[in-house]
A and B are shown apart, each in its own frame.
Chain A
Amino acid sequence: MSGMIINDLVFVAVAGFTLLSALGMVLSRNIVHSALALILTFLGVAALFFNLGAGFLGLVQILVYAGAISVLIIFAIMLVMHSEPARTNLFNTSLGTHLAGAYIAALLTLSLSLAIWFSELPQIKGKTVEDAVGMLAQLFMGNYVIAFEAAAVLLLVSVVGAIILARGAKQS
């Protein structure tokens, strides 16, 4: 029983950390601070994965999101920024945007909580999977190999497209 309580405490701490850093991202007026808070959020999500016993997924989260994608985000911000950094992420003060934002937020909250409330959440019994990496590999390279390869081709195409956009087409 005490194990359960410790587990719950860890979850509350990690989830709180994730939510706080997400709030920091939204509320920060400096867009670089926002990006760094986003990294903390990613790390919090990774910790949630660890807490659920999905260590490999948590590490993927760190490697891909916190380690690579966020660097790209920060790079993009730094390259396009030209004004005073402390005023780059200002709040929109018009009433219309406030209302629209509140409406979308309420809609999201409602649909998510309805989805969670009405879906069955069967508890997984039995031992934790020892060789999670091997099983994931079996799924990727076996059952879902076509989807996996399609995603790979999609990424490749977008990378090539980005390179063409960056170099610019020849004027003819």
Chain B
Amino acid sequence: METIFINIEEFLTSWMVGMGLAQPWADLIITILQWTIIVLIITVNTIVLVWMERKVSGFIQERIGPNRLGPFGAFQTIADTLKLLTKEDIVPARADKLIFKTAPMFFIIVSVMLYAVLPLGNNMAVVDLNVGLFYFISLASLSTICLLMAGWGSNNKWSLLGAMRSVAQMISYEIPLVFSLLGVVMIAGSLNLTDIVTAQNRVWFIILQPVAFIIYFIAATAELNRGPFDMPEAEQELTAGAYTEYTGMRWALFFLAEYTNLVAVSVLAATLFLGGGHGPWLPSWLWIIIKTYLIMLVFMWTKWTFPRIRMDHLLSFSWKVLIPVSLANILVTGAGIELFRWMGW
């Protein structure tokens, strides 16, 4: 069970080479196949997650949640997807059309590209990049611009305000996010995600780096623009922030990208702090799925239990609390590493 996907991949490659295809072409086809599967995973995950989000919020608010379509309302999201696909695509007359139309595309492309380095099981990353973590961080920083494009292109006050808020928030919270990851990198001594998983053979980094994990979790919530940090799309004041003017499939792309980012951030948390694929009895890829879903459940839990935070409080929380604490965490981690080395561990 452990190596089932790798075995399938190797079998397919050898079969294609056996059919007389040159090795590079076979590798190319395998890569395309891998990306197709990733997009498939993302889409299916989103359908499940939207349903899960509704059920969890229903549970927390003492409602039933979706319950009409299928068992426990499981087909509700599929019906919603069909609705979104058939909706009219409206482009506002005074919008900056080029930017308005390309913003959701760039957003989803950036989100999907994050998955290139994530190990979805032992040796199951698409690219085993030796600066994998850094790749993740720098690509994630690009999604800021896509939101800015959406807000600007819509030519609408709410959209622009929402985009400005989200950019201010994402830039502020990117710093503690990266600093919190530094502690993990210092202990593992590598930016390669596979190496970081291997370094957690004996003890998970959530035990060695609890502060970093909490900072990462808070900063990631803000980066994802999820509640309680969802000021950029605060419905009561901004309608839907940067997404106000979007309809139908373009809006659905934003929605898809947000859940794609949620899954990516959760997989990264599982990889960096919860030992990746390590775990007893079950194969590694199943452990990744279980851990990812646990983390996403906590994300949903926080979203539906905490009230929204005011914008200035949000920013000063990042600059005055999270950044100093994460810097102190780096200092303590460095001192700890030196201490253990001195003690001869």
Binding site for B on A (CB under 8 A): 30, 32-33, 36, 39, 55-56, 59-60, 62-63, 66-68, 70-71, 74-75, 78, 85, 130-133
Contact = CB atoms under 8 A, between A and B. Distances in A.
Contacts of A74: 145, 148, 152
A71 B144 contact: yes
Contact of B139 (A32, A62, A130): A62
B260 to A, nearest CB: 18
Given A32-B152, A78-B152, A55 B129 contact: yes
Contacts of A39: 145
B98 interface: yes
SS of B interface (majority): helix
Contacts of A32: 96, 99, 152
Contacts of A68: 141, 171
Contact of B130 (A36, A60, A130): A130
Contact of A62 (B99, B142, B191): B142
7 contacts: A32-B96, A36-B145, A67-B145, A68-B141, A71-B167, A74-B152, A131-B130
- Find the residue from B139, B145, B160, B167 having the highest chain A CB count within 10 A: B145
Contacts of B204: none
- Find the residue from A59, A60, A67, A85 having the highest chain B CB count within 10 A: A67
Given A33-B98, A36-B99, A56-B134, A66 B145 contact: yes
B99 A67 contact: no
A71 B131 contact: no
SS of A interface (majority): helix
Given A33-B99, A67-B138, A71-B144, 15 more contacts: A36-B145, A36-B149, A55-B129, A55-B131, A55-B135, A56-B134, A62-B142, A66-B141, A67-B141, A67-B142, A67-B145, A71-B145, A74-B148, A78-B152, A133-B130
A70 B149 CA distance: 12
Nearest to B167: A71
A66 B146 CA distance: 11
Contacts of B142: 62, 66-67
B137 interface: yes
Which 5 residue pairs spanning A and B have beta carbons closest together?
A67-B141, A63-B138, A62-B138, A59-B138, A59-B134
